[in-house]
Amino acid sequence: MARPVIAIVGRPNVGKSTLFNRLAGKRISITEDTPGVTRDRIYAEGEWLDKYFTLIDTGGIELTTHDTIFEQMRLQAELAIDMADVVLFMVDGKEGVTAADAEVAQMLRKAKKDIILIVNKMDKYVNNDNIYEFYNLGLGEPISISSTEALGLGDLLDIVIAKFDKSYDTAEDEDRIKIAVIGKPNAGKSSIINRILGQERLIVSDIPGTTRDAIDTEFERGGQKYTIIDTAGIRKKSRVSETVEKYSVLRAFTAVERADICVLVIDADKGITEQDIRIAGYAHDNNKGMIIVVNKWDLIEKDEKTFKKFNDDIRNQFAYMQYAPILTISALTGQRVNKILETVNEVFSFRNLRVSTGVLNDLLIDAVLMNQPRIVKGKRLKIFYGTQVAVNPPKFVIFVNDSNIVHFSYKRYLENKIREAFEYKGTPIVMEFRSRSE
């Protein structure tokens, strides 16, 4: 059975994201004293007493608003409540009960979920007698905590895990393909993820910068488990002024670092930009699998040369990433979106492909016979043997007489020979040369 799900909900700016980061054990959600900073559902894994669970942070619930973003945030929170097994309803102990708290409490009573009422900001300087007024919300005994000071969290988690159904799978889960969807703002990243998932998982808006956090969604397809990460669009540094957006860009780069495969989304209508090249370069430098997805292909006027021209342009602009497959899709119509997961599975299998030492060394012998290394500093490079030492990404160590005389062109030549034999579609190859004495 699936892992239990805990949703943290409440009105804006009561400290939900701070608690989420505490329970996740790392800073994932952006925390700032600005209502509406958390807009989508943010996911993370949590653990307490060897019990693993999924946490969801939500945007603040505003029931009486006509603002488009806040209305979608409320919808995201409602979806999180529907998914959750346990709902943590957070209120502000310093402010006391507000009309907005009462409205959210009424909504939660209708949801018929396990609700735990938590009163936040109850640090050692606050009068704990304030907690009694929260009984008026009709959701049982309030639990006082301070997420900033980490007070009362152990007691809270004891109560939470006691509510888990015994049939849930609370063991640690590592068998997942992690996919980061990256690109500049407004290229259609969230729309593509919604298409893949078959639901309005993420807020979609024509306003650039709607996605501010790196948002994890776990799902399963055909027996394979995935975590797909929607990232904030990455802008040029000169355009990153707002504090929250600076955090968002940092989250996007962090998402790349923890992914297995990055899906770079390019806006077909706007073409390749300098920023697309920069984003892809960051993923390449981190040895991530790469798929280039050209979105909004339906908006392009086409003839028999359109795809070839676009393909050639991509290959020229991303010359260091010839291994990356290219897909043209439309998130709006759903055209070829199904190809993305198929390609992810294919790239992942290549990232985990192992070449036996014997086969690799036969290939190296043939490569040297066909093209002898040049003489550098009066010495000719001699290759003794090679072996594959890792996968995801594939890494090869080649022992030579002197690693200081390996020319970059010969390293590229050997990599091309390995790709000719084994393709390694969609993934960089890490090659390390060591002197035999090393």
What pLDDT, in 10s, does the model give residues 144-166? Answer: 999 888 889 999 999 998 888 76
* For range 210-225, the mean pLDDT: 70
pLDDT of residue 126: 61
Say if residues 413 and 367 touch (Cβ distance below 8 Å): yes
Calculate mean pLDDT across residues 58-78: 66
Lowest mean pLDDT among 102-111, 184-193, 195-204: 195-204
- What average pLDDT does range 80-85 have in this prediction? 79
Mean predicted confidence (pLDDT) in 170-177:
65
For residue 255, the model assigns a pLDDT of 73
Please report the beta strands in 93-142, taking only residues with DSSP state E, as ranges in sequence order: 114-120
pLDDT at 438: 61
Domains of the chain: 5-162 (3.40.50.300), 177-350 (3.40.50.300), 357-435 (3.30.300.20)
Is the predicted pLDDT of residue 323 greater than 60, yes or no?
yes
Please report where in the chains the tokens 């639990």 appear, as a residue.
Answer: 143
More confident residue, 14 or 235: 14
Mean pLDDT of 392-401: 95
Tell me what pLDDT residue 431 has: 96
Mean pLDDT of the region 136-149: 90
Strand order in the sheet with 395-400: 383-390, 395-400, 430-435
Q: Which pLDDT does position 375 carry in this prediction? A: 85
Q: How far is CA 149 from CA 121, 331, 377, 413, in A?
A: 8, 44, 61, 56
Confidence of residue 57 (pLDDT cuts 50, 70, 90): confident
User: What pTM value is reported for the model?
Assistant: 0.59
Considering only 225-229, 248-252, 324-328, which range has the smallest mean pLDDT? 248-252
Contact between 415 and 431 under an 8 Å Cβ cutoff? The reply is: yes
Q: Which comes out higher in pLDDT, residue 352 or 282?
A: 352
pLDDT average, residue stretch 48-71: 72
pLDDT on residue 211: 41
Mean pLDDT of 310-335: 94
Given a cut of 50, is residue 27 above it in pLDDT? no
Q: Amino acid letter at 239? A: R
Whether residue 406 contacts residue 400, with contact meaning beta carbons closer than 8 Å, is answered with yes
Give the pLDDT score at 189: 87
